Amino acid sequence: MGTFTLPLKKVIELEDGNIGLDDYPIFDEDYREALNTKIINHYWNQEIGQESIELFRFAMRRKMHEIMPQWNQHYEMSLLAVDPLSTVSVKDISSNTSTGTSTGTSANNSTSAAKSRAVASDTPQTALQANADYATSMQDNISDGSATSDATDVQDTEQTSTNDHEQTGYQGHAPMLILQARQAIVNVDMLVIADLQELFMLIWSNNDSFSGSRFPYYGLY
């Protein structure tokens, strides 16, 4: 029997395990049962710090909703894989991009004209008239030509190169780094349990009844 209030064991029996641990925020729902079991086992024999079960259940639910958002971050950080001897990580990324465009245009225009006449006469002493009446034969050659050329040359080039280099290591004395890593390790479950201490009376009960014998406990007078 409890001295002032009920021990947690009795509360769980009367409430079928419902003590306000069913809906608080937790980083992984699969871990809820494990954490609840640790809380119950730790305070199993301690008397609740409220005058009624309803007040205790309300206080437990309120407290868990207040503290778990912070402790959930600790749980998530504890899941990170950290190498205590990896204290320096340097990553060098360089990227070079070059773009060039060249355009060339050329135009050539040429025009040529030629005119020639060939005249043959059996009487070279006779002047040739404008109408060529006294010519034995005559041939006129007239040529007229033009040429035009246009040329356009466009070149567009782009070149990109990326260099990625990563170097890791550590600075300091290796045993000291390992010691510091060990000191940084915390038991988050026990931190949560410690925050719930204010909900109990700090009175321990084993829930056992003394012997019904007329002799004092352990049979001693």
**Boundaries of every domain in the chain:** 8-84+171-219, 92-159
Instruction: Specify whether the backbone of 105 is left (phi greater than 0), alpha (psi in -120 to 50) or beta.
Output: beta
Lowest mean pLDDT segment, chosen from 7-16, 72-81, 152-161, 211-220: 211-220
Per-residue pLDDT reduced to its tens digit, 160-211: 667 666 667 666 666 665 666 555 567 899 999 999 999 998 777 665 554 4
CA distances from 198 to 3, 130, 192, 193 (A): 18, 138, 12, 10
Average pLDDT over residues 28-52: 95
Query: How much is the mean pLDDT over the chain?
Result: 75
User: If pLDDT is split at 50, 70 and 90, which confidence band does 212 have?
Assistant: very low
Residue 186 CB partners (closer than 8 Å, separation 6+): 74, 78
Mean pLDDT, residues 97-115: 62
Beta bridge partners of 155: 102
For the stretch 10-36, pLDDT in tens is 999 999 999 999 999 999 999 999 999
| Cα–Cα distance measured from residue 22 to residue 142, given in angstroms and rounded to the nearest whole number | 112
- Please count the other Cβ atoms lying within 10 Å of the Cβ belonging to residue 81: 4
pLDDT of residue 219: 46
Most distant CA atoms of the chain, gap in Å? 182
93-126 burial: b if 16+ Cβ within 10 Å, else e: eeeeeeeeeeeeeeeeeeeeeeeeeeeeeeeeee
Taking the model in full, what pTM does it have?
A: 0.54
Across 71-97, average pLDDT: 75
Could you count the other beta carbons within 10 Å of the beta carbon of residue 129? 9
Q: What separation in angstroms does the CA of 48 have from each of 3, 43, 110, 192, 204?
A: 11, 9, 112, 17, 10
Closest listed residue to residue 43, CA positions, set 163, 178, 190:
190
Angle at the Cα of 46 (from 189 to 218), degrees rounded to 5? Answer: 130
Amino acid at 127: A
